[in-house]
Structure 1
Amino acid sequence: MKAQHPTAHDRLVILAGDGKVLKGSAREGRSALSFLSVFFHELALTVAQVDQAGRHEAKGMQDLLPTLTTLFGNGWLMTLDAAYTERELTTRIDEAGGAYLVPLKNNTRSLKEWAMFAFTYPAHDHVVNVERRSGEIWERRTSVITGEQVPEEIKEGLCGVQTLIRREHQVTRRDGTQRVEVRYAVSSRLLTAQEAERIWRGHWGIENRSHHCRDVVLHEDACRLRRGAQGRAMLNGVIVALLNGQTRQITALVRRLTIDPLLALQLLIPELASR
């Protein structure tokens, strides 16, 4: 990672944290193994991982923070899902020199209600993105409230909150019917509406570009390994990063590698390609 991105310490690095259950590792009387991991979007690489070991996700994720500081210094921001929205973890992230973006959902109902109240007043910074997908219109409206305008109750509930985010997602189907979903989040970094939209939306890269690929391409969920599963999962993450560095059509590339194993070796030793 350092070889590929030697300037990572000098700019904001966006990371995503999430858990993954290895379904095939389950045994009678023993639950499946579950690993918490942190994903570096630029390299499509899992840079840190720890066994959840029956702990709450937020507790396990704290073990990875020293590694992130070693890799990225004080210039990283990690996006997380609602399971990690709690004061202790956000405080630890702040103490480690990083920043976070976490959603407010029903597990933080009072904070979510304060966020809803705050956005009854017009937000001065907002952005609209519109996409057309298979005849449907997807419209996303993202607004932010920053600094002193963020309710004190939210700042007291989570450590270092600087930005409050509202994201409205509206889908208009071909028949004219609409589906509207509104979500709220907070970040300990001062963000514009455009930055908040890009970072929050990008969170699911950990699922789409890592976890899903590891299952579909490398059949990780089908593997019944328990001893050494941690190492294998990390190796799978490195392989996915190598494949992502070559193409977005990973499945097609894997078919080529099956036919031509020398091509796989060239991914690891680029000098062979010139011989």
Structure 2
Amino acid sequence: MHEHIAFDGKALRGTYGHQDPEQTSVHLCAFYEVKTGVVLAQRDVREKENEISALKEMLTPDLIKGRILSADAMHTQRFFCQQVTLGGGHYVLIAKDNQPTLWEDLKLFFEDHAPDVRWQSHREVSSGHGRLDIRVTTCSPDLRDYLAQDWCGIEQVFCLERTSIQKGKPTSREVHYGITSLSPTHADAARIGALHRAHWAIENRLHRRRDVTLKEDASQIRTKHAPAMLAVLHNTMLACMDFLGVKNVASQRRFYDAHPWEAARLLFQGF
């Protein structure tokens, strides 16, 4: 089974708004292995760059081969699909208004829902915190030939519908469309839906924990490479916590603060 890695960027907000040339703003991009919590690659977005140009440099053959790559809609780009496919990997991408032609094609295809098209759907219901969520993933390989000239490696298109029902609030419905190089043999509708949800681990389990638990955005460390190095240390610590099965990182940090020799023993004896 291919391992899933998610790509996303994060601004270190404590480095923003300073005039000193040695205190430049820092924006980091990372590839995050969803299963293990390990950051496989990270680099800063340099001056006169953006996340798209930074991603081009990070897409190396060693990183791509044998893996499933996901990213947010900003990175639904032809070069991304081509490079991942030629590198022996697979992609799962969402289409939005940065690719209006693709988005319109997908919207018309799924709204038409022609009876002679091969469809596959998966429905999942979950509840919690007083809210009922209904997620329906629908996919089809029958738009592949039409889109293949522009989108290298494409095998399926998919539609993600999420309906949220909460007492006392209006029912909300979100619809997203996407493309993937995973064939129906390698990924059915349930698998595609799971991959899309798993992508957000980079936001919820990496970026959010660095901000909320480790207070990264409030940090006043902002000179030269120090903020990026601090982010590397945070990434490493969170990956170690995931490896150890720690559920509450803040509580575990307090334990190690009170028992430093336990932390030292963990490091010296290995995992």
TM-score tier after normalising by the smaller chain length: 0.7 to 0.9
Worse-superposed segment, 76-85 or 122-131: 122-131
In structure 2, the residue corresponding to 1:106 is in which secondary structure? coil
Report the Cα offset of residue 135 of structure 1. Answer: 2.0
User: 1:193 and 1:65 mapped to 2: Cα distance?
Assistant: 27
Tell me which amino acid in the other structure corresponds to 1:227: K
Q: Which runs of 5+ in 2 are unaligned?
A: none
Gaps of 5+ in 1: 1-10
In 1, distance between residues paired with 2:129 and 2:228? 40
TM-score calculated relative to the size of structure 1: 0.87
1:1-275 superposed matches below 5 A = 11-26=1-16, 27-28=18-19, 32-53=25-46, 54-66=48-60, 69-70=61-62, 74-119=65-110, 120-121=112-113, 124-146=119-141, 149-150=142-143, 152-175=145-168, 177-190=170-183, 191-223=187-219, 224-228=221-225, 229-246=227-244, 247-270=246-269
Amino acid at match of 1:234: V
Shift of residue 195, structure 1, vs aligned partner? 0.8
Q: Secondary structure of the equivalent of 1:254?
A: helix
1:68-104 deviation line (CA, Å, top 9, x unaligned): x435x72101110011111112212222222111110
Distance in 1 (CA, whole Å) between partners of 2:205 and 2:265 is: 22
Cα distance, 1:151 vs. partner?
5.2
Q: How far apart, CA to CA, are the structure 2 residues paired with 1:192 and 1:65?
A: 26
Q: Deviations over 1:117-172 (max 9, x none)?
A: 221225521100101122221000001112xx115453333221111010000001
How many Å separate the matches in 2 of 1:133 and 1:204? Answer: 18
3-state SS in 1 of match to 2:113? coil
Write the letter of the residue equivalent to 2:173.
V
* 1:237-258 Cα distance to aligned partner (Å, 9 max, x none): 0111011222121111111111
Question: Matches of 2:78 and 2:40 in 1, distance apart?
Answer: 24
CA distance in 1, matches of 2:168, 2:229: 49
State the SS of the aligned residue for 2:216.
coil
* Fraction of identical pairs, as percent: 23
Distance 1:267 1:157 in 2: 51
After superposing on structure 2, the runs of 4+ consecutive aligned residues of structure 1 that deviate more than 4 Å are: none
Name the Cα RMSD after superposition. 2.0
- Deviations 1:182-215 (CA, angstroms, capped at 9, x unpaired): 1011111222101101100111100111111112
Asked whether the 8 Å contact 1:217–1:251 carries over to 2, the reply is yes
For the structure 1 residues 176 and 57, does the alpha-carbon distance in structure 2 shift closer, same or farther, using more than 3 Å as the test?
closer
**Matches of 1:113 and 1:267, distance apart in 2:** 53
- Structure 1 residues 208, 267: closer, same or farther in 2, change over 3 A? farther
In structure 2, what is the Cα distance between the partners aligned to 1:176 and 1:221?
Answer: 33
Is this contact kept in 2: 1:126–1:141, CA < 8 A? yes
- Alpha-carbon distance, 1:57 to partner: 1.5
Match of 1:63, SS state, is helix
Contact 2:144 2:156 in 1 (8 A): no
Using the size of structure 2 for normalisation, the TM-score is 0.88
